[in-house]
Amino acid sequence: MTAETMTTETGKAARKRLFIKTYGCQMNVYDSERMRDVLAPLGYEPADAPDGADLVILNTCHIREKAAEKVYSELGRLKPLKEARAAEGGTMTVTVAGCVAQAEGAEIQRRAPVVDLVVGPQTYHKLPELIASVHRERGEALDTEFEVEEKFDRLAAPARQVEGHTAFVTVQEGCDKFCSFCVVPYTRGPEWSRPVDQVTAEIRQLAAKGVREVTLLGQNVNAYHGAAPGAEAGSWSLGRLVRHLGLIGGIDRIRFTTSHPNDMDDELIAAFAEEPKLMPYLHLPVQAGSDRILRAMNRKHTAASYLAVIERLRAARPDIAISGDFIVGFPGETEADFQETLALVDAVGHASAFSFKYSRRPGTPGAALPGQVDEDVKSDRLARLQALLNSQQEAFNASMTGRTLPVLFERRGRKPGQLGGRSPYLQAVHCDGPESLIGQIAEVEILSASRNALAGRLTGGERSAA
């Protein structure tokens, strides 16, 4: 047994340094936090940099090609650090987790021998066991053996370390939609929902630790159908779950992401009207505005059916802020198709949005389609789309000036005496105020707005969630 893997006399695992680098979506941010929690009992403490770390985990994203390439560059940078650690007489275990791990498997170790362990998103609960086996192969021992259990049973068990007053909670994973551009159904597997009781218990625990706002996460979160507690057998929709979570004292704000237009059912739309804790902001990707392209993308909705969903949402909650994802340059996309995307954007009016050039992902049906679009055409369309989306975001923010908004303060601002928080519409808001307001909701009169943030002053008014 080496010094670093020995248990201390108090029976606690010896201190080791863990560095996790997270790529991609909020689901990965959540998974990284859970990996930290599950490794803490083994003595792993978070480090800010990979230098000198005992365990480095790259929690990867495979959604676009560049995301995967970044991982290989990072692995190249880790090689000398791992050698330096060995020269000091220590070891650095390099682990690749996340969707690149799932998609590429053992290929990663062939391409980057610096990697000791590859672990997909469904198996993080086994990390302690897997790390133990790496140590065993090296002739070192680790002090713990874990039984194989379901991911969330294991990950839900250790107390969550909480920083701040907002938190993400995974309620659903995977996707059965198979959009023809997307790797998620392959990397994250089929749709699966966490049982209601488990979600409720985690959020109660977070509330007790001072969390005021939760964002429910899932690749296809509004397809949620979690097993209901005890007597109320059957499965609950996301709308029902949201109303149930609204009963938890201490939690003032609820959000969820990411949704598919076809799963916006009446119960969920009604929750925007009836559940005051559900914030008036929705990320609802449409991807494109041309029905021909939407069909080729296997989205199973049209531009008109998307607009009809937006209309129902606005009838329920007239001030709801809409965000989305867009892909330009999907195979076969013509200038006329692209114009239909711009027209759809015009019709919706976005509070914010993400837009991407189509990235050909091996193994997805889109990769094999004829009519792949030239990079410079994609770049040109992306620039035009982003100019329009940016102007909408600017206009949306500008419409807030003169209004008074409830702001959940999350942190100190950049300047002394300044606080930073979020409006109900997820806008960043800055104003001067006492640090005692961090973790509280207070009324702020908005005095100015830019594309990325609002600035205002405290009115001393009463708090309310939205």
Q: Are 96 and 108 in contact, with CB atoms under 8 Å apart?
A: yes
> Can you tell me which of 37, 267, 325, 394 binds ligand 5AD, judged by CB under 6 A?
325
- Matching residue, tokens 């707005």: 449
> Can you tell me which of 63, 169, 211, 446 binds ligand 5AD, judged by CB under 6 A?
63
Q: C-alpha dihedral over 211, 268, 262, 384, to 10 degrees?
A: -60
Q: Is 181 in the site for ligand 5AD (CB under 6 A)?
A: yes
Answer with the entry of ligand SF4, ligand 5AD, none that 175 interacts with (C-beta below 5 to 8 A by kind).
ligand SF4
Q: Is 114 in the site for ligand SF4 (CB under 6 A)?
A: no
> Can you tell me which of 200, 237, 341, 359 binds ligand 5AD, judged by CB under 6 A?
359
Q: State how far the alpha carbon of 408 is from the alpha carbons of 58, 217, 416, 443, in Å.
A: 32, 20, 19, 9
Q: Which is nearer to ligand 5AD, 175 or 449 (CB)?
A: 175
What is the C-alpha to C-alpha distance for residues 324 and 199, in angstroms, rounded to an integer?
26
> Can you tell me which of 43, 285, 406, 421 binds ligand 5AD, judged by CB under 6 A?
285
- Other CB atoms within 10 A of residue 15 CB: 11
Q: Is 178 in the site for ligand SF4 (CB under 6 A)?
A: yes
Q: Which is nearer to ligand SF4, 4 or 265 (CB)?
A: 265
Q: Is 354 in the site for ligand SF4 (CB under 6 A)?
A: no
Six-digit token string for 404: 């008074």
Contact range with ligand SF4 by CB under 6 A, out of 32-40, 176-184, 264-272, 337-345: 176-184
Phi and psi torsions of 451, nearest 5° = -60, -35
Q: Is 59 in the site for ligand 5AD (CB under 6 A)?
A: no
What is the C-alpha to C-alpha distance for residues 466 and 459, in angstroms, rounded to an integer?
16
Q: Which is nearer to ligand SF4, 263 or 275 (CB)?
A: 263
What is the C-alpha to C-alpha distance for residues 285 and 458, in angstroms, rounded to an integer?
34
> Can you tell me which of 95, 220, 323, 427 binds ligand SF4, judged by CB under 6 A?
220
- Residue (of 72, 90, 70) closest to 82 by Cα position: 90
Q: How far apart are the first and last CA of the chain?
A: 56
User: Which H or E run contains 444?
Assistant: strand 441-449
Q: Which is nearer to ligand SF4, 126 or 260 (CB)?
A: 260
* Count, residues near ligand SF4 per rule CB under 6 A: 10
What is the C-alpha to C-alpha distance for residues 267 and 235, in angstroms, rounded to an integer?
14
> Can you tell me which of 20, 75, 179, 268 binds ligand SF4, judged by CB under 6 A?
179
Contact range with ligand 5AD by CB under 6 A, out of 94-102, 351-359, 436-444, 453-461: 351-359
What is the C-alpha to C-alpha distance for residues 398 and 449, in angstroms, rounded to an integer?
5
> Can you tell me which of 32, 193, 219, 423 binds ligand SF4, judged by CB under 6 A?
219
Answer with the entry of ligand SF4, ligand 5AD, none that 178 interacts with (C-beta below 5 to 8 A by kind).
ligand SF4
What is the C-alpha to C-alpha distance for residues 217 and 31, in angstroms, rounded to an integer?
11
Q: Are 357 and 335 in contact, with CB atoms under 8 Å apart?
A: no
Residues forming the site for ligand 5AD (CB under 6 A): 63-64, 181-182, 285, 287, 325, 327, 356, 358-359, 361
Residues forming the site for ligand SF4 (CB under 6 A): 175, 177-179, 182, 184-185, 219-220, 260
